[in-house]
Chains A and B, each alone.
Chain A
């Protein structure tokens, strides 16, 4: 008799997942096998402990406010997306105009032009680097097999 298989069935027996034939098979085996009978009793005690484990209920208001909270966050999310798109457009336009102005302004000393352009160039490199790091982290995601 395969004790390992019977032990798996004992686990399912306590979960109420066996059909009548399987239950009878387990019961017959238990009558003649002290090892599996011990496993059956241990599993019974374990199930008793597990049945006493409870998760904390939230306050009633949490359920009343649940949808409102989801709805508000959904709306805010759309607001943030629109705000971010606007901010990016303004930032790029402002940056372009700034660079254009600096290059075309003959009165600005060359060294100052180089300094300002260097700062702007550095900012772009840093931004790209941060974005690339984020993408790299996502590619090496531990749980990437799980649908996002």
Chain B
């Protein structure tokens, strides 16, 4: 019996938290192989590895914490159901991100038909008063960006990802990410110009 098979066998014999304890022993690829066989305990390891990243990205898109939780969880559910179509040779998160982004955009489309969500719900402002208005304007600016620019802003500033990492997740070349970010920043900078006393 190969070492890999032995690890998998041991893994399959165990339940629950053991997955996390053995997480280091199993690569993401190995865990996904188990998930593809319908192993929900193995999927727990994947969900717990990416849940925070998924939540914060969804929150960047939809701004409402409860909606972000629901959307990220729904995306994990859909990913599990579609896991057979996932290419095991590729990293999980970019594939998952595409599913979740679609959920976010659908949600925004539905929400725009219903009503605006109060701006306060989704974030904490460090300085409560003096720059509150500027940040409100900035958030509205982020919301009004084209999807490609908006996602690069979310991944760069709220996930602190490098250009390379953003490129891997979005599937866009690094040069496109760089350019997208540049134009997004240019536009956002313009929206808060008067607050920054930039003149010109």
A interface list, Cβ under 8 A from B: 7-8, 11-12, 15, 17, 38, 42-43, 45-46, 49-58, 62-63, 66-67, 69-71, 73-74, 77, 142-143, 146-148
Question: Judging by beta carbons under 8 Å apart, are B157 and A52 in contact?
Answer: no
Question: Judging by beta carbons under 8 Å apart, are B73 and A70 in contact?
Answer: yes
Beta-carbon contacts of B49-80 to A below 8 Å, as 1s and 0s? 00110011001100001000100011011001
In the A-B complex, the 9 residue pairs with the smallest Cβ-Cβ separation, listed nearest first, are A11-B182, A146-B102, A147-B98, A46-B189, A143-B105, A8-B182, A55-B59, A45-B196, A66-B51
A62 and B69 contact, Cβ closer than 8 Å, known pairs A43-B189, A54-B123, A146-B98? yes
Question: Judging by beta carbons under 8 Å apart, are A70 and B178 in contact?
Answer: no
Known: A7-B186, A15-B156. 9 other contacts (CB 8 A): A7-B182, A8-B178, A11-B181, A15-B181, A49-B135, A55-B56, A73-B73, A74-B40, A74-B80
Question: Judging by beta carbons under 8 Å apart, are B163 and A147 in contact?
Answer: no
Question: Judging by beta carbons under 8 Å apart, are A143 and B178 in contact?
Answer: no
- Minimum CB–CB distance from A140 to chain B (whole Å) comes to 12
* Residue in A closest to B163 when the chains form the complex, CB atoms: A17
* Residue in B closest to A48 when the chains form the complex, CB atoms: B196
Question: Judging by beta carbons under 8 Å apart, are B196 and A15 in contact?
Answer: no
CA distance A100 to B179 in the complex (A): 67
What's the dominant secondary structure at chain B's contact region?
A: helix
* Residue in B closest to A69 when the chains form the complex, CB atoms: B73
Question: Judging by beta carbons under 8 Å apart, are B60 and A143 in contact?
Answer: no
B interface list, Cβ under 8 A from A: 40, 44, 47-48, 51-52, 55-56, 59-60, 65, 69, 73-74, 76-77, 80-81, 95, 98-99, 101-102, 105-106, 109, 121-127, 131, 134-135, 138-139, 147, 156-158, 162-163, 178-179, 181-182, 185-186, 188-189, 192, 196, 198, 200
Name the contact of B185 in the complex, choosing from A11, A56, A62 (C-beta under 8 A): A11
Residues in B neighbouring A71, C-beta threshold 8 A: 40, 44
CA distance A54 to B138 in the complex (A): 12
Question: Judging by beta carbons under 8 Å apart, are B65 and A66 in contact?
Answer: no
* Residue in A closest to B164 when the chains form the complex, CB atoms: A17
11 contacts between A and B (CB under 8 A): A11-B178, A42-B196, A46-B196, A53-B138, A55-B59, A71-B44, A74-B80, A77-B77, A142-B109, A143-B106, A147-B95
CA distance A53 to B134 in the complex (A): 11
Question: Judging by beta carbons under 8 Å apart, are B185 and A66 in contact?
Answer: no
